[in-house]
Amino acid sequence: MALCFSRAARRFTLLTVLILGLQLPLSVDAKSSIDVRITSPQNEQKVGGQLKVEASISSEYELKEAKASVSGIEAPLFQSCSGCSTWTGTLNTSSLPQGPHSVIVNATDVKKKTGTASAPFVHDEAPPVVTLIELPKQHSIITDGSIHIASEATDEFATPVHFLKIYEDGNPYDPVIAESLTGNSYSRTFDVSAYTGTTLHIHYSIGDGWEPESYNLSNPVNYGSTVHIASLAALTAAERIPNAEILDSDANRLLINRSGSLYIRSRTNGTETPVAGGHYPVGLTPNGAVTGSLAQPEFTVRLHSWNGNSVAQADLGQWDRSSAVTIASNASRIQGKYLLSAFEGTVYWINTETNEVRKIPDFKSPYSSDITNYEVMDDGDLLMSGSSMTPDTIFRYYAATGQTEPFLTFPYPPFGPISDGETILFYAGGALQKYRDGSVTSEVYGIPLDEFSVPSEFYQYSNGWLAYVGENHQAYLKSPEGTVTQVTYLQKPVSLHALGEDGTLIVKDSPFTYHLYRPGQEQLIEIGSNRGARVDIHDGQVHYLLGDTIFYVSQAPENTQAFSSPAAHSLSLP
């Protein structure tokens, strides 16, 4: 009997062990039924004022809630999609002390089972401390073909990252130089001589690392500069305005761009007056300046005339952002105190002294809308050609009366009138015609232009001097006495740029290469080849505006010295 009981007890004990052995793993799984893994932040990631938390949470039962917390700050997590295991949320960490912390994610299911996980991160909203930065000064001119950049920085929680991008004007997405370096210092000199004649933009940043899944630096300190790469052997620096771009000039004033804003600067006392209106420069007027803008959201190109007290405006039509600067400048012409603008079938006349604006409906139709068919004169009168109804007539708009009347009828359709106030030149019948004192004479045959040409690039007149583009697309100059001189013997076609009252002539053999000729001069002078240069003649003096400097042209190439730009700007911070 005792033996039987002993055997039975052993069977019972074995059965009990088997049952408990089967039940024990189920009990462990039930207590650990929620698995939490934090996928962001990772690797002691640096975080600013907002911490984005992402966790992968899996549970045997339906989850009731998930929360993220750090140092008493708590925020709910939300399931990214129905049935998925990703939960996300954001914690406001701006009140946390700078330095290392841990975020904790807690999850609870409907059975009140819980799961938890933690991940370290660093709260860092402070940028690196920059102790040295060396960049070329804003709008400085580089003549030795090199750009030097150097910096030194420290950071409490990371090793600084230095990032450099240099790109040509108008092409920010295709940099000519782009590189990054992790370290406390950076020093490089780049050969940019291949970009002579262009404008380069320098973007330089120092951060404390890269933002996750991004090409952006975290907590960056940003620097920038625009420089002009130039070869200026025939030019002499006459005036310089540091950290500004000189856009236009007359005897007493400069139109400058400083940090994205336009100012008129006195050349006598240096005072600078903000220009009201647009951001795109068109030019100085006797009382102020004309600017352009792109009005949002309809993308309307708008002209602004600021006379020192008030602003008048004229809408030229809708266009894209990239063309706004070109349209504002090329569709406008300033003569004395009068502004003429013609674009997309609408012509405006503005007295920039009083800011009186007139929209000239007669010019829209049947006249051509291209400004090449219009001229504004010193007295405010307008000349216009290209009428489809009366193509053989040049009309004159009289500013004093506001009336438009036929002015000159010719056997062949006239095109492109230009005037110095007394003499009118126009092209008709295959020849350049000159109107003066009531009569017309044929001056030059064979000028290679058509209806799409800009007249002032093919013929100009000033104080009895006539410049024109003739045989082989070369430039010629006819004196008031009638002597004709071939000015250029270049391998490229040329166009006219400016003609002074003394016969000084500036021509171009490309969109940006300028040459100078003075009557009696034996050798043509190449004065510069820069995309951003502005060249004009004031009181017999050639002004070459580039970057922060006004240059004058030397009398002859052999007597000139290359302009040396100022040294790179070095700033040491304590």
Is a pLDDT exceeding 80 seen at residue 95?
yes
- Which residue carries 């730009």 as its tokens? 565
3-state secondary structure of 451: coil
Cα(50)–Cα(47) distance, rounded to whole angstroms? 7
What pLDDT digit, counting tens, does each position of 28-82 carry?
A: 334 457 999 999 998 888 888 899 999 999 998 889 999 999 999 999 999 998 8
| Long-range contacts from 419-424, C-beta under 8 angstroms, 24+ separation | 419/375, 419/377, 419/383, 419/461, 420/461, 420/462, 420/463, 421/377, 421/378, 421/379, 423/461, 424/375, 424/383, 424/394
Residues in the chain: 574
Are 159 and 113 members of one domain?
no
Are 119 and 133 members of one domain?
no
How high is the pLDDT of residue 44?
82
How high is the pLDDT of residue 297?
65
Is a pLDDT exceeding 50 seen at residue 26?
no
What pLDDT digit, counting tens, does each position of 255-295 carry?
A: 999 999 999 999 999 999 999 998 889 999 999 999 988 87
How high is the pLDDT of residue 365?
44
Q: Which residues contact 499 (CB under 8 A, 6 or more apart)?
A: 460, 461, 462, 465, 467, 505, 506, 537
- Is 510 domain-assigned? no
Q: How many CB atoms lie within 10 A of CB 486?
A: 12
Pull the structure tokens for residue 220. 């960056």
How high is the pLDDT of residue 559?
32
Question: Which is more confidently placed, 295 or 102?
Answer: 102
Q: Are 478 and 466 in contact, with CB atoms under 8 Å apart?
A: yes
Q: Which domain holds residue 72?
A: 31-123
Are 137 and 114 members of one domain?
no
Q: Which residues contact 4 (CB under 8 A, 6 or more apart)?
A: none
Are 175 and 114 members of one domain?
no
Last residue of some domain: 196, 231, 266? 231
pTM above 0.95, yes or no: no
Q: Which residues contact 333 (CB under 8 A, 6 or more apart)?
A: 339, 340, 341, 371, 374, 375, 376
Q: Is the dihedral of CA 236, 241, 247, 252 positive or negative?
A: negative
Last residue of some domain: 123, 155, 174? 123
Give the pLDDT band of residue 558 (cuts 50, 70, 90): very low
Q: Are 55 and 38 in contact, with CB atoms under 8 Å apart?
A: yes
Is a pLDDT exceeding 60 seen at residue 6?
no
- Is 184 domain-assigned? yes
Number of domains the chain contains = 2
Are 67 and 81 members of one domain?
yes
Range from 99-113, 307-321, 377-391 carrying the lowest mean pLDDT: 307-321
**Would strands 129-135 and 146-154 be described as parallel, antiparallel, or unpaired?**
antiparallel
Range from 68-72, 134-138, 331-335 carrying the lowest mean pLDDT: 331-335
- Is 215 domain-assigned? yes
Cα(339)–Cα(537) distance, rounded to whole angstroms? 19
Are 147 and 168 members of one domain?
yes
Q: What DSSP letter does each residue of 266-280 carry, written as one string? A: ETTT--EEEPPS-SE
- Is 9 domain-assigned? no
Pull the structure tokens for residue 146. 């090199």
How high is the pLDDT of residue 515?
93
Are 179 and 91 members of one domain?
no
Ranked by mean pLDDT, the top range of 8-22, 40-54, 184-198, 409-423 is 184-198
Helix (H) or strand (E) holding 406: strand 403-409
Are 185 and 142 members of one domain?
yes
Q: Please name every residue paired with 418 in a beta bridge, in sequence order, or none if there are none.
A: 425
Give the pLDDT band of residue 316 (cuts 50, 70, 90): confident
Are 171 and 113 members of one domain?
no
The CATH number linked to 147 is 2.60.40.2550
- Is 138 domain-assigned? yes
Tell me the residue ranges of DSSP E strands in 430-502: 431-436, 439-445, 459-462, 465-469, 475-478, 484-486, 495-499
Are 111 and 35 members of one domain?
yes
How high is the pLDDT of residue 9?
46
- Is 563 domain-assigned? no
Last residue of some domain: 201, 231, 261? 231
What pLDDT digit, counting tens, does each position of 462-508 carry?
A: 999 999 999 889 999 999 999 999 999 999 999 999 999 999 999 99
3-class secondary structure per residue, 339-359: EEEEECCEEEEEECCCCEEEE
Are 39 and 113 members of one domain?
yes
- As a whole number, mean pLDDT of residues 134-149 equals 95
Are 134 and 226 members of one domain?
yes
The CATH number linked to 98 is 2.60.40.650
- Is 496 domain-assigned? no
What pLDDT digit, counting tens, does each position of 56-67 carry?
A: 999 988 899 999
What pLDDT digit, counting tens, does each position of 158-169 carry?
A: 899 999 999 998
What pLDDT digit, counting tens, does each position of 218-258 carry?
A: 899 999 999 999 988 788 999 999 999 999 999 899 999 99
- As a whole number, mean pLDDT of residues 175-200 equals 95
Q: Which residues contact 269 (CB under 8 A, 6 or more apart)?
A: none
- Is 37 domain-assigned? yes
